[in-house]
C-alpha cells in the first residue's frame, strides 16, 4: 500500500471515532484525588504549549494565513485527558500508576541537583510514589 494512502487511512481511522468519543465523554468534574489534579495540570501545560506552537507556526508555514490547525491533535489531547482523569478517579490501580507518571514527568523537569538532594520530592506532592519513581529512572 502506498505510504501516503496508508497515512490518510490511519488518520481517518483515528480522527473520526475521536470526534464521537469527544462528544460523548463529559468533561471531568471536580477531581477528588491528587493524581487526577496532577494529570489536569500536565494536560493544561500540554494545551498551552500546543496553542503556542500553533500560534507561532512551529510545525507549519508562518506566512500562510490558511494554515490553522485542524483540531484533530487538540481533540486527541482532550479525549486522552478525559479518559485518563476518569480512570484516575475510578480505579485505584490506574490512579497509582498515573500518579507515578505525573511525578516522573515533574521530576524530569527539575534540575538534576534538586532531584539528587531529595529535598523537593515531598514538596512536589510526589512523596507517596518516590520509591516507584526512583525505580523507573
Summarised one tens digit per residue, pLDDT across range 7-56 is: 889 989 999 999 999 999 999 888 889 888 988 988 998 889 888 887 77
Q: What pLDDT band is residue 70 in, cutting at 50, 70 and 90?
A: confident
**Which strand (E) or helix (H) includes residue 37?**
helix 34-56
What is the domain count for the chain?
1
Residues in the chain: 137
More confident call, 50 vs 109:
50
Alpha-carbon gap, residue 1 to 117, rounded angstroms? 53
CA atoms within 13 A on the CB side of 4: 0
Structural domain containing residue 31: 3-136
Copy the grid coordinates of residue 72: 484533530
Q: Choose among 133, 130, 108, 109: nearest CA to 119.
A: 130
Q: What pLDDT is stored for residue 61 in this prediction?
A: 55
Q: What pLDDT is stored for residue 23 in this prediction?
A: 94
Q: What pLDDT is stored for residue 131 in this prediction?
A: 42
Amino acid at each position: 500500500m502506498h505510504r501516503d494512502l496508508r497515512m490518510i487511512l490511519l488518520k481517518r481511522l483515528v480522527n473520526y471515532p475521536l470526534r464521537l468519543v469527544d462528544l460523548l465523554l463529559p468533561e471531568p468534574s471536580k477531581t477528588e484525588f491528587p493524581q487526577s489534579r496532577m494529570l489536569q495540570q500536565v494536560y493544561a501545560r500540554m494545551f498551552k504549549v500546543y496553542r503556542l506552537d500553533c500560534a507561532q507556526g512551529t510545525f507549519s508555514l508562518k506566512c500562510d494565513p490558511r494554515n490553522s490547525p485542524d483540531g484533530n491533535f487538540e481533540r486527541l489531547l482532550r479525549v486522552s485527558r478525559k479518559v485518563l482523569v476518569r480512570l484516575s478517579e475510578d480505579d485505584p490501580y490506574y490512579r497509582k500508576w498515573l500518579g507515578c507518571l505525573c511525578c516522573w514527568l515533574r521530576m524530569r523537569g527539575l534540575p538534576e541537583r534538586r532531584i539528587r538532594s531529595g529535598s523537593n520530592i515531598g514538596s512536589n506532592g510526589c512523596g507517596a510514589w518516590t520509591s516507584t519513581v526512583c525505580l523507573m529512572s
